[in-house]
Amino acid sequence: MAKVLVIETSWCKGCGICTAFCPKNALELVGEKVRLKNTNACVLCGLCELRCPDYAIYLKEVSK
Amino acid sequence: MPSELIYNYMRIDHLPHIWCAGCGNGVLTHDVVRAIDSLCNDPDRPIPREKVVIVSGIGCSSRAAGYLDFNSMHTTHGRAIAFASGIKIANPELTVVVITGDGDCAAIGGNHLIHACRRNIDLTVVVFNNEIYGMTGGQYSPTTPRGDKGTTAVYGVVDRPFDIAALAAGAGASFTARGDVYHVKETTELIRQGIRHKGFSLIDCRSVCPTYYGRKNKKGDAVQMLKWQKENGLPMKQYRALPPEQRADKYALGILSRNEYPEYTEEYQKIIEMAMAEKGKEK
């Protein structure tokens, strides 16, 4: 199983926690919504999912 | 669509929740979900999901009971532990988790808290301690640090704050611990252990309220408040190794006290059996 990063934009309140604590600086806020700025930088560590207060960003398992 | 975990354990038709951007309560609720999920899927001793009950009182924290998809009860201000005690005594096989805030638990509900601790009834109390009354507009609570500001303390709080975990331990709770928002994995594990513990367990979780506490006290936004937790929340061993003068803003994370005392509903059952045997003899 592979993992992908999923963002539920309608639930994002733009607090900036995921962007601040992303160890690879792969996320950014655009108009108070989070966006994956650099797909290659994301190492799928899941720290954003751990600390998102709004359950708006998470790793999803997908079959290759 | 949310993650599978959120989809399975939360009432997603009630989401997104009403908590402010960056509110620590959302993270702590996720911790509770992860802790319960790991116990429901424990291969050795799984807790049946339908036997889990979530009880809350009033305040921002207490909205959690509405979002969590278990048997849940959103009760009156300060009385969550009283309702939970009734639920547990009537059905001791249930796993009862109380989600409460610092005001709900230590101010209006303070008396219920200490007496539930004293009884050592098998409840798990997760305190979302944001050090302020958020829902009603930022009044200072029993855990607001001395000198900090609230809408009812414009020059700073004069009262000394409660350490809820120490209060619970002093009142006889058999498991007390401290977690926070930043240290997600550690806090989730403390909640898991608290639920597993037989007897009264309390996990005092430092939440963050950027909207009222943060703004009133110039602590910055949610990110800055979490960075503060990252720097100041220390594992127990590390905290104890510090000389007292360096502890100032630091706080210890982990299990603060753990004892084996007789559990209330088990002792109560013994009384029932003894009384029934006496009654049988009379006939």
**Residue B11's closest CA among B71, B75, B52?**
B71
B74-129 tens-digit pLDDT: 999 999 999 999 999 999 999 999 999 999 999 999 999 999 999 999 999 999 99
Residue type, B200: F
Residues shown for chain A:
64
Spatial separation of the C-alpha atoms in residues B184 and B28, rounded to whole Å: 8
Which of A12, A55, A57, A60 best probes binding to B when mutated, by most B CB atoms within 10 angstroms?
A55
ipTM: 0.95
Tokens for A24? 């690879």
Which chain A residue's Cα is nearest to B4? A60
Spatial separation of the C-alpha atoms in residues B196 and B124, rounded to whole Å: 9
B225 at A interface, C-beta within 8 A: no
- Do the Cβ atoms of B2 and A17 come within 8 Å? no
A 1-40 residues with CB < 8 A to B: 6, 8, 10-11, 13-17, 20-21
* A64 pLDDT more than 80: no
Q: B33: distance to nearest CA of chain A, Å? A: 12
Residues B114/B82, Cβ–Cβ less than 8 Å:
no
The continuous run of DSSP H or E covering B225 comes out as helix B222-232
Residues B185/A51, Cβ–Cβ less than 8 Å:
no
Domain chopping of chain A, boundaries? 2-62
Residues B169/B176, Cβ–Cβ less than 8 Å:
yes
Instruction: Give the predicted TM-score (pTM) of the model.
Output: 0.96
Q: Does domain A2-62 have CATH number 3.30.70.20?
A: yes
Q: B184: distance to nearest CA of chain A, Å? A: 7
**Residue B94's closest CA among B72, B62, B118?**
B72
A2-61 tens-digit pLDDT: 999 999 999 999 999 999 999 999 999 999 999 999 889 999 999 999 999 999 999 999
Which chain B residue's Cα is nearest to A5? B3
For residue B27, give the nearest of A20, A53, A59 by CB distance.
A53
pLDDT per residue rounded down to tens, chain B (283 residues): 899 999 999 999 999 999 999 999 999 999 999 999 999 999 999 999 999 999 999 999 999 999 999 999 999 999 999 999 999 999 999 999 999 999 999 999 999 999 999 999 999 999 999 999 999 999 999 999 999 999 999 999 999 999 999 999 999 999 999 999 999 999 999 999 999 999 999 999 999 999 999 999 999 999 999 999 999 999 999 999 999 988 888 999 999 999 999 999 999 999 999 999 988 877 6
Name, in order, each residue with C-beta under 8 angstroms of B272's C-beta and a sequence gap of 6 or more. Answer: none
Q: What's B158's DSSP letter?
A: -
The continuous run of DSSP H or E covering B27 comes out as helix B24-40
A53 at B interface, C-beta within 8 A: yes
**Domains of chain B, earliest start first:** 4-282 (3.40.50.970)
**Residue B45's closest CA among B195, B254, B203, B261?**
B195
Which of B128, B205, B223, B231 best probes binding to A when mutated, by most A CB atoms within 10 angstroms?
B223
- Do the Cβ atoms of B226 and A50 come within 8 Å? no
